[in-house]
Amino acid sequence: MGFKKNKIEMKNITEKIITKVISGDVSAIEFFVYEMNPVVYYMTYKSFYDAYTAEDCAQEILVRLVKKLSTYDSRKSNFNTWAYTLIKHTIMNYSDKINRSKEITEANEEYIMGLAEDRTNYLNCSDELTKLESYIGEDDYRLLYFRLGLNYKYKEIAKLFDLPETTVKRKINEALKKVKKYKERGKNEK
């Protein structure tokens, strides 16, 4: 991730503007964000080459710049250096966050897809479904049905059941573990 500092400069950000932003002056904050946005977006787009990701990361950076501006000390470095450092570090953290999220999602989707293939066997036998439902519990069964059977996203299920998305993910993962145990129990009985 190399950045060319000379590509876009932050000429209009003065000590006076910085002081006003730190004090909470709304018009100064708007001006600061307006001036910083092209620099930030340029750097994020050059890092991700995806407009959506660049915009999302740029928004996070702009908020962070405003919040952290009080830590800027003109005696230690000039503003451009301070801002570029904060922007670069935030981009790296954002990139790491995206990669971790992809790894978790891919692992979960692989596991779910394996269960979805096995699900076709269960759909042919209502007795087996009834046993599974009583084994894992009605609520967990419903969540799994919406996730695997109807292909709802976690966010959609959370909205439908009026639960936080993290709770839905946790409950579905717990239900998947129960299904796995149920399947293993069935294999051992044969």
Task: Say which CATH topology domain 125-189 has.
Answer: Arc Repressor Mutant, subunit A (1.10.10)
- Helix (H, G, I), strand (E, B), or coil: what is residue 10? coil
**Is residue 144 exposed (0-12), middle (13-18) or buried (19+ Cβ within 10 Å)?**
buried
d(Cα 62, Cα 183) in Å, to the nearest integer? 50
Instruction: State the CB neighbour count (10 A cutoff) for residue 32.
Output: 22
What does each C-alpha distance from 85 to 28, 89, 90 come to in angstroms? 22, 6, 9
| Residue 7: pLDDT band with limits 50, 70, 90 | very low
Q: Which of 37-46, 90-99, 179-188 has the highest mean pLDDT?
A: 37-46
- Render pLDDT for 61-102 as a digit per residue (tens, 0 to 9): 999 999 998 998 888 888 888 888 899 989 988 888 877 666
Query: Is pLDDT at 116 greater than 70 in this prediction?
Result: no
d(Cα 60, Cα 41) in Å, to the nearest integer? 11
User: Do the beta carbons of residue 83 and residue 36 sit within 8 Å?
Assistant: yes
Mean pLDDT of the chain, nearest integer: 78
pLDDT at 5: 45
Name the residue among 29, 61, 69, 66 with its Cα closest to residue 44.
61
In CATH, which of 3.40.190.80, 3.90.1150.10, 1.10.40.60, 1.10.1740.10 is domain 15-98? Answer: 1.10.1740.10
pLDDT at 64: 92
Share of the chain above pLDDT 90, in %: 7
Domain ranges of the chain: 15-98, 125-189
| Residue 112: pLDDT band with limits 50, 70, 90 | low
User: Do the beta carbons of residue 3 and residue 84 sit within 8 Å?
Assistant: yes
